[in-house]
Structure 1
């Protein structure tokens, strides 16, 4: 894959506005999860600036309404909807899906939580796997027919270079036997985000749906870091890491959702607006296990079983 990996004119410093410049999404409909804060806001803003109808799928509807008002003011686009969505609650996901009518051209699975203390959903799922992966899996599969009805649609799975912390442990996904480590849990959920893209693209490409995953970059000014201690944040800031603004962090998501040259391209993992090298280094690349088609197929079946048996 390295020799044929996709490159673009954009890079680490590019913003969502840079990526979407000149693209017109009039008549196209998008959903962005977690669009009330951080890169979700900037992702939604970029899509709105290109004339898309954008639904902000958020837990906090009041916060979502404030963001919608601000996006309309900054873009002039009044076609910004707000809908409640709690990815840790299967009933909330089912209600969102049931309420959706008509085609869906862009689904950006952006919401996520990172490294909380051990928490379980009412179904018994470890909260990071339940929210970051299973919630988005249920949402995307629930919206499949709407995506297919669009004729040519894209699903974007926001993962992280944190996937390199852990593969999916199929023998103990929910930390029922092994000791819980919040970062291992996070890594597992982010690997699952990539494996979802691999298998979904394989299953759905014939219906005109392409699916890719990405690392947005390190964004320190984000609600995602709320479970990090001051010591962890200080260490991150002192590491020499180049941090991105939310506008830069949203760029790769927007690229995968809109760049014309990516029509029909799926099942891949991008970072800094380009396809990542296969084989992880300390700060870049994608782990082989995150693109393993056998693991991707297994995860799809396991995820389906978990949702069917435990809702």
Structure 2
């Protein structure tokens, strides 16, 4: 397993301390709140040029202005992106020009009840996986150009320990036949994020593109405003049992920055990171309470990763 000097208490600023990222161009989705803000802020401190890809562009501009005031970096841009709208994702890709070195697929949602896109796709799977999948495909050529420019480009996919709650259920991805369980839906989407990193790294290694998945840990963000009472009780029980300790948003962004810039992950992808290091793999019957900092085999299964890629392409081609 790949290890670094960083851990649970490390911050994003700790990870980038002393780095000069001038000339690096990054896209951070969901960068107007929570972990995304701190990810962008730490990259900005080191001179990177950053595009905040957000649904609410007014909030994005406020965030960009705040980051500029804090860091002095004026190379921040705001671009509209709704991951549940295929036209919006396509338009983002068409607007992009030049190389891209870092794509940080950070945006996330939680829906307490069943919600669908216009295509009928379950909202959490559409946002976390299908939207980011389409975005990554649309930016592939820019990432390949970034790799030619700098030696490699990196994709960071934010996942969660909640991936332990569900594999990708290929026979019923969108809860057409199952009773809707928001926690299972979230878990399935988070497993998909890891599988994407596995297959993207396999397919795009020759282009100099690597992808890794990161678990930010327990962080209180706006995502939790829509949690069900059952999920709030579950999190409270997990915290009481010592499964996790809440982090600050700066600490929550640290593992993202490890995957984005740490030399230990140069040229190597398909890993699941937790607390700044590659996590150990556990069997699929393990529980989150027993192995809160591990990754289940179903999230790293290369055949499931290949199947998910094919299925995802089929969704976008309809």
TM-score normalised by structure 1 residue count:
0.95
CA distance in 1, matches of 2:232, 2:183: 14
Quick one: which of 134, 137, 145 aligns to 1:138? 134
Q: Gaps spanning 5+ residues in structure 2: where?
A: none
Indicate the residue corresponding to 1:224 in structure 2. 223
Aligned to 1:175: 175
How far 1:273 moved relative to its partner?
Answer: 0.2
1:22: how far off? 1.2
Note if 1:289 corresponds to 2:302. Answer: no
Worse overlay, 274-283 or 180-189: 274-283
Aligned counterparts of 1:302 and 1:67: Cα–Cα separation in 2: 36
Count of residues in Structure 1 that have an aligned counterpart in Structure 2:
304
Q: Tell me how far apart the structure 2 counterparts of residues 297 and 230 of structure 1 sit (CA, whole Å).
A: 36
Residue equivalent to 1:163: 163
Specify the alignment match of 1:304 in structure 2. 313
Q: Hey, what's the Cα distance between the residues in 2 that align with 1:102 and 1:38?
A: 28
Rounded to whole Å, the distance in 2 between the matches of 1:127 and 1:45 is 28
CA distance in 2, matches of 1:103, 1:284: 34
Deviations 1:63-112 (A, max 9, x none): 00000000000011000000000000000000100000000000000001
What residue number does 1:214 align with? 214
In 1, the alpha carbon distance for the partners of 2:266 and 2:234 equals: 40
Give the 3-state SS of the residue equivalent to 2:115 in structure 1. Answer: coil
Distance 2:229 2:303 in 1: 39
| 8 Å CA contact retained: 2:32, 2:52 | yes
- 2:19 counterpart of 1:26: no
Measure the CA separation in 2 of the matches of 1:273 and 1:171. Answer: 34
SS in 2 for 1:150: helix
Q: Output one character per residue of 1:194-239: Cα deviation in whole Å (capped at 9) or x when no partner.
A: 000000000001110010001000112x011021145643652453
For residue 55 of structure 1, what is the aligned residue in structure 2?
51
Structure 1 CA distance for aligned equivalents of residues 293 and 18 of structure 2: 29
1:168/1:229 CA distance change after superposition, 3 Å: closer
Q: Distance in 2 between matches of 1:77 and 1:261?
A: 27
1:265 paired with 2:263, answer no
Matched residues in 1 for 2:268 and 2:39: separation?
20
**Which secondary structure does the structure 2 equivalent of 1:132 belong to?**
helix
Structure 1 residue 284, shift from structure 2 partner: 1.9
TM-score, normalised via structure 2 length: 0.93
Q: Which residue of 1 aligns with 2:245?
A: 242
Q: Distance in 2 between matches of 1:175 and 1:230?
A: 21
The answer (yes or no) to whether the contact 1:115–1:183 under 8 Å persists in 2 is no
Residue of 274, 278, 288 corresponding to 1:275: 278
Quote the residue 1:69 is aligned against.
65
- Structure 2 distance, partners of 1:90, 1:116, is 23
Give the alignment's Cα RMSD to 1 decimal: 1.1
